[in-house]
Amino acid sequence: MYLGSWLSRLSRGLSRPIGKITQPVWGSLSRSLSLGAQRIPEFSSFVARTNTCGELRSSHLGQEVTLCGWIQYRRQNTFLVLRDCHGLVQIIIPQDESAASVKKILCEAPLESVVKVTGTVISRPPGQENLKMPTGEIEIRVKTAELLNACKKLPFEIKDFMKKTEALRLQYRYLDLRSFQMQYNLRLRSQIVMRMREYLCNLHGFVDVETPTLFKRTPGGAKEFLVPSREPGKFYSLPQSPQQFKQLLMVGGLDRYFQVARCYRDEGSRPDRQPEFTQIDIEMSFVDQTGIQRLIEGLLQYSWPDDKDPVEIPFPSMTFAEALATYGTDKPDIRFGMKIVDISDVFRNTEIRFLQDALAKPQGTVKAICVPEGAYLRKQDIVFIRDFATHHFSQEVLPVFLNAKRNWSSPFAKFIMEEERLELTRLMEIQEEDMVLLTAGEHEKACSLLGKLRLQCADLLEMRGVVLRDPALFSFLWVVDFPLFVTKEESPTELESAHHPFTAPNPSDIHLLYTEPEKVRGQHYDLVLNGSEIGGGSIRIHDAQLQRYILATLLKEDVKLLSHLLQALDYGAPPHGGIALGLDRLLCLVTGAPSIRDVIAFPKSYRGHDLMSSAPDSVPPEELKPYHIQVTWPADSEEENAAATPSENLSS
Amino acid sequence: MYLGSWLSRLSRGLSRPIGKITQPVWGSLSRSLSLGAQRIPEFSSFVARTNTCGELRSSHLGQEVTLCGWIQYRRQNTFLVLRDCHGLVQIIIPQDESAASVKKILCEAPLESVVKVTGTVISRPPGQENLKMPTGEIEIRVKTAELLNACKKLPFEIKDFMKKTEALRLQYRYLDLRSFQMQYNLRLRSQIVMRMREYLCNLHGFVDVETPTLFKRTPGGAKEFLVPSREPGKFYSLPQSPQQFKQLLMVGGLDRYFQVARCYRDEGSRPDRQPEFTQIDIEMSFVDQTGIQRLIEGLLQYSWPDDKDPVEIPFPSMTFAEALATYGTDKPDIRFGMKIVDISDVFRNTEIRFLQDALAKPQGTVKAICVPEGAYLRKQDIVFIRDFATHHFSQEVLPVFLNAKRNWSSPFAKFIMEEERLELTRLMEIQEEDMVLLTAGEHEKACSLLGKLRLQCADLLEMRGVVLRDPALFSFLWVVDFPLFVTKEESPTELESAHHPFTAPNPSDIHLLYTEPEKVRGQHYDLVLNGSEIGGGSIRIHDAQLQRYILATLLKEDVKLLSHLLQALDYGAPPHGGIALGLDRLLCLVTGAPSIRDVIAFPKSYRGHDLMSSAPDSVPPEELKPYHIQVTWPADSEEENAAATPSENLSS
């Protein structure tokens, strides 16, 4: 039956499976989201209804209720299903003559129209209960009905949204928001942030301080949006984070600051980035790295959704060097193995030419990962992997299969000597059906390549039915001991900050600042969840002289733009440090959503457009006048390019 | 003694009396701010200290504590006072030889340097307790000390900040934030907002939804900041409020939305306005005006600071017409009387010419207010009042004094007949020493003038020592039944929205929309506190056809800019309404601060400048290029004007 299957899909949270949620259901949405032992909010205070549709149970039998909601479904003019933000309930359409006007309203209103009904909660006839529906034991015998707003013909059936492009969903976002999944995502986001606030404010005495978003551009702030002011040639800048303000608040003695901060970054078109995003921004005085880490572990444990397994603390920690050597990345997904192993020593006497060549170089290494059950990959997968290595890293990759019965099945086997084979098998704990991916080259490059291939093999294996990464598992990891500086790609003799120029050096490395600054480790820490960076922070420099030396001498920055901060450090700045968590990314991982756009109420498209209202938009020249700016129109050819691209609206 | 007086001033919250707070004191700041019966936060978790300076009491005697803070004061190298965000504590500097290094650190560090000390909490010697200091019964016998950061010579002594200009305070905001008053204001703000969130989220099921600030310009959005995008000629707009989004969320079935929303308004230079400000933004489905009012009353009662008298609910309510007729304004301060009285009938047969003239006109009235104890005003005050009426309203005002012994002391007395005098005295309940201010003219104009004079008389009387407005009294008032439209000043045949074009008409006036729209009342409500508007909202139009008629036919707006909203209303928009509270203004009134800048961590100056970092700032032309804009430099004379005004920095 149509209704049954639709309801059961809906009640399993699968109406539009953009995420991987299976637990919460429409009818229990509010309850599953309500905070642990705390009282359940009054969802019907101050309004026309007495109850929400989704909350009605057998315990309400006999009660007269007033409900407001949308007509989700109607069957043969005998009953309909009413939906509100808390779930679905079945309404019996009265058939007797005296209720003709009620029947007319309920039968004639188009689907998705808004109605108010009053009636009595009654039991469903025996055998007609719907156990998959949280309100499936009861139904409503209606006395009065009022059409609050009729719905015109929709651009699509809401339940078919799963078949629509994301562009269409974004264009009609207000309809998309009616889906179970978007309701769940936004309500969960609100709840998690609320619990974070309780933890920070009520349990640990943090002060929620709002900092300006109309600010001055920062050194190297090329990704900052500009806001013209009414003063000719003067612009505000929308900051990428409240970094300067949070440090100044510490100088101002605020002691413990947090903010759910709106941040801005103009990166042009980038998939899965948003021009405005939200971070949980935290700063503390008199704290060290461990203090911040324990604070954040407690924060996540406290605010973690009740419908997930509790977060275990403390989180494991790994140095940057170890993360790179073992996982080929600074944000390892530690839910699965496939660790990188240095097998240079195994191949000191190899006959394989490209390994020979690599090992002959001073920094040369041979590295490998063992892909469990890699034998399930197809030939096209292997081709894809090798092509990827060639295109992106100009590296050779050797897939080596071990088959216990047939011994080495790889064509390269003949060049691998028996003792090499044995040593490799021992070192990498190779099993039947496993595949080894082997490459050679300089340490960092070889690790980076294998780090990428590790993730691609996981993707490919999961496509082939071998599950490596449990979506219900949340593996947090601290990555620490990052280098304070990296050399600039375009100019290797110059340094730039690995994190940002306010990060304090590791105290035991301070002497190296004046001799070998590239060897200094920073007091910087990243928080990684399932292979995504969800936060990062550092202990800051509180010594003005050191900050000046790093900015001016080592980084060659224009310190004038930061003179206020340098001055502030001189006037009794306390030692301080902090962190910022990327809220959108965190929620995306928690809900299992495929994109951060699914945890944001009104996201921009990957090109930075609001597809609902068509922002950004043209502005008449007279409205630019007060800001003393005018548009520099590009030459014709560029203009055509620009004009030729707004196809995103409906076809992407 | 210097220390004693400084401490006692500080402990009474009077170190820089920008507000009128007398209750909270440094040492009990955290406790007085902690939430009623809820647990006190752990202020020393995760950090180097064991306790805060301000929390130590006799109950801590004998405990070894580690404290971090700023050196507030030092006396004869024998003791110093250490300050942190929670208060002050006295530290005994050890004098014995073995502690020479500790003594050296504590004696040589400049004031406002940051130190960490460990020591034991001991009793002060009998007779040396300081009862005005919350930690005045104890002191710390120090064992170790560490200089965490030395303070360079400050641009001023922090305790002298009260003598500095506000521009200097804003330039060194990070030092200004160390003052008791700013700490109190920001911490109270955080606490009030947290309690509002608890009320909305945890008690009433509201969903905190973040809405975009990079959006499309709205019709008539002349006060919106523009943000150039990388597409030539295309701009985002920073919205003045999330109005459209909150309505779209209701269409999306979110049911109960709130947000502590950052809003933007570019009004150029205006005193006591900020280009970015914060509002508590609320929207509900299936609600009426009363529902929103009860919600907000509960919200304010729940979040009201514990150190103030509780808020009494429900708040009184007054129609716009009554507010205008009685108080001459739509935001009456009802803490005091001086109501406007229509005394036209008293003067139907007057011999006073300008009253005669006024009453001869069809809309002519005579109005008066009785200024209690107005006889205490000076002659210059009366001159000021009359000049004000002439300059701003081109109106004549008659001050009439009643002196029981000398009868009418006013020179106009001779023209006022005995029966007029008696009737006036009876109607206005005039007492000895009162003054009547009398004017004539059209109803609205006469009321507006007397409304202004009412406030100015209150100011003048308070300068003369007659207190009319109790600063500890918080008088909330709903003002309702506003007209839906007003005629445009520049073109009286055209209408504009009194509130905004989404406000629903009063149901009983709907028929007038098509005949006499200027007579339609809107379902709009303002919340007024002590004469300031702190909030406003409305029940919205949920009918697309009605919304189109009002926008296109009555207001002649370009509906294209709002097509997404009109479309949304067609697809099953629920009836809905909401409100927004101005958080900065509310906090300003609650703390008694003289300016909203005192409840904002990093405010802009009245010219929209950040005086600390010098924002807005120049941007090199190459950074404008990606945004396809260039600066239109004004002609020389204008430029000079612009260049001649940055004197604000230090001299205003």
A:B CB pairs within 8 Å: 422
Give the model confidence (pLDDT) of B178-219 as tens digits. 999 999 999 999 999 999 999 999 999 999 999 999 999 887
Q: Which pLDDT belongs to residue B24?
A: 41
Note the ipTM here: 0.92
What distance in Å separates residue A56's CA from the closest CA in chain B? 17
What distance in Å separates residue B282's CA from the closest CA in chain A? 13
Which among B112, B226, B236 has CB closest to A572?
B112
Phi, psi (deg, nearest 5) at residue A581? -105, 135
Region A109-115: mean pLDDT is: 97
Q: Which pLDDT belongs to residue A400?
A: 83
Give the model confidence (pLDDT) of B177-187 as tens digits. 999 999 999 99
Considering only CA atoms, which of B617, B641, B607 is closest in space to residue B167? B607
Spatial contact of B365 and B344, defined as CB atoms under 8 Å apart: yes
> Which tokens in the block code for residue A494?
């110059």
Contact A570 B152 (CB under 8 A): yes
Contact B608 A48 (CB under 8 A): no
Contact A276 B213 (CB under 8 A): yes
Residues of A in contact with B628 (CB under 8 A): 631-634
What distance in Å separates residue A111's CA from the closest CA in chain B? 9
Contact B201 A190 (CB under 8 A): yes
Give the model confidence (pLDDT) of A119-160 as tens digits. 999 999 999 999 999 999 999 999 999 999 999 988 877 765
Using the predicted structure, report yes or no on whether residue A170 has a pLDDT greater than 80.
Answer: yes
Spatial contact of A340 and A325, defined as CB atoms under 8 Å apart: yes
CA angle B238, A194, A475 (to 5 degrees): 105
User: What mean pLDDT value characterizes chain A?
Assistant: 88
Mutate to test the interface with B, among A559, A613, A640 (most CBs of B within 10 A): A613
What distance in Å separates residue B154's CA from the closest CA in chain A? 7
Region A41-60: mean pLDDT is: 96
Spatial contact of B26 and B88, defined as CB atoms under 8 Å apart: yes
Q: Which pLDDT belongs to residue A268?
A: 74
Lowest mean pLDDT among A152-161, A270-279, A464-473, B496-505: A152-161
Contact A216 B151 (CB under 8 A): no
Q: Which pLDDT belongs to residue A9?
A: 35
Contact A291 B46 (CB under 8 A): yes
Judged on CB neighbours under 10 Å (0-12, 13-18, 19+), A16 is buried
d(CA B41, CA B30): 9
Distances (CA, A) of B417 to A170, A307, A311, B90, B401: 75, 82, 86, 73, 15
Residue A27: pLDDT band by 50, 70, 90 thresholds?
very low
* Bridge partner list, A350: none
Give the model confidence (pLDDT) of B17-70 as tens digits. 333 333 344 544 544 444 444 568 999 999 999 999 999 999 999 999 999 999
Considering only CA atoms, which of A151, A150, A154, A188 is closest in space to residue A172? A154
Contact A571 B154 (CB under 8 A): yes
Residues of A in contact with B286 (CB under 8 A): 47-49, 68, 116, 148
By three-state DSSP, how is residue A220 classified?
coil
A501 preceded by a cis bond (ω within 30 of 0): no
Lowest mean pLDDT among A416-425, A450-459, B104-113, B568-577: A416-425
Which among A190, A276, A571 has CB closest to B212?
A276
What distance in Å separates residue B174's CA from the closest CA in chain A? 4
Spatial contact of B148 and B127, defined as CB atoms under 8 Å apart: no
Which among A205, A278, A600 has CB closest to B30?
A205
Spatial contact of A185 and A587, defined as CB atoms under 8 Å apart: yes
Region A184-190: mean pLDDT is: 97
User: What mean pLDDT value characterizes chain B?
Assistant: 88
Which among A186, A213, A618 has CB closest to B262?
A213
Phi, psi (deg, nearest 5) at residue B37? -80, -5
What distance in Å separates residue A452's CA from the closest CA in chain B? 32
Say which residue, A407 or B324, is predicted with more confidence: B324
The pLDDT > 70 percentage for chain A reads 88
Contact B233 A631 (CB under 8 A): yes
Give the model confidence (pLDDT) of A278-335 as tens digits. 999 999 999 999 999 999 999 999 999 999 999 999 999 999 999 999 999 999 999 9
Residues of B in contact with A255 (CB under 8 A): 43, 84-85
What distance in Å separates residue B474's CA from the closest CA in chain A? 24
Lowest mean pLDDT among A14-28, A439-453, B239-253, B559-573: A14-28
Contact B233 A205 (CB under 8 A): no
Region A491-510: mean pLDDT is: 94
Distances (CA, A) of A42 to A51, B161, B203: 9, 48, 6
What distance in Å separates residue B441's CA from the closest CA in chain A? 39
Contact A227 B229 (CB under 8 A): no
Q: Which pLDDT belongs to residue A15?
A: 31
What distance in Å separates residue B536's CA from the closest CA in chain A? 18
Residues of B in contact with A39 (CB under 8 A): 202-203
The pLDDT > 90 percentage for chain B reads 73
Give the model confidence (pLDDT) of A412-463 as tens digits. 667 788 888 889 889 999 888 889 999 999 999 999 999 999 999 999 999 9
What distance in Å separates residue B613's CA from the closest CA in chain A? 6
Contact B601 A245 (CB under 8 A): yes
Give first-to-last CA distance, chain A, whole Å. Answer: 34
Residue B411: pLDDT band by 50, 70, 90 thresholds?
low
Which among B268, B543, B633 has CB closest to A233?
B633
Lowest mean pLDDT among A139-148, A226-235, B9-18, B416-425: B9-18
Q: b vs e for A335-374, b when ≥16 Cβ sit within 10 Å of the residue's Cβ?
A: bbebbbbbbbebbeebebeebbebbeeeebbbbbbbbbbb
Which among A114, A232, A238 has CB closest to B631?
A232
Region B271-288: mean pLDDT is: 95
d(CA B482, CA B498): 8
Residue B543: pLDDT band by 50, 70, 90 thresholds?
very high
Which residue of chain B comes nearest to A253, CA vs CA?
Answer: B178
Residues of B in contact with A623 (CB under 8 A): 217, 222, 226
Q: Which pLDDT belongs to residue A302?
A: 97
Q: Which pLDDT belongs to residue B28?
A: 46
Using the predicted structure, report yes or no on whether residue A238 has a pLDDT greater than 60.
Answer: yes
Full DSSP string of A564-608: HHHHHHHBTPPPEEEEEEEHHHHHHHHHT-SSGGGGSSSPPPTTS
Which residue of chain A comes nearest to B618, CA vs CA?
Answer: A234
Residue A364: pLDDT band by 50, 70, 90 thresholds?
very high
Residues of A in contact with B587 (CB under 8 A): none
Say which residue, B643 or A516, is predicted with more confidence: A516
Using the predicted structure, report yes or no on whether residue A80 has a pLDDT greater than 60.
Answer: yes
Top-confidence range, A319-328, A492-501, B259-268, B462-471: A319-328
Which among A203, A210, A542 has CB closest to B278?
A210
Contact B204 A255 (CB under 8 A): no
Using the predicted structure, report yes or no on whether residue B407 has a pLDDT greater than 60.
Answer: no
Contact B194 A190 (CB under 8 A): no
Contact B619 A202 (CB under 8 A): no
Region B145-169: mean pLDDT is: 83
Which among B177, B207, B629 has CB closest to A254?
B177
> Which tokens in the block code for residue B224?
């919106």
What distance in Å separates residue A378's CA from the closest CA in chain B? 43
Mutate to test the interface with A, among B183, B286, B303, B599 (most CBs of A within 10 A): B286
Which among A215, A216, A612 has CB closest to B564?
A612
Using the predicted structure, report yes or no on whether residue A6 has a pLDDT greater than 60.
Answer: no
pTM: 0.92
Residue B237, amino acid = S
Residue A221: pLDDT band by 50, 70, 90 thresholds?
low
Residue A650: pLDDT band by 50, 70, 90 thresholds?
very low
Q: Which pLDDT belongs to residue A157?
A: 74
CA-based torsion, B216, B221, B226, B228: positive or negative: positive
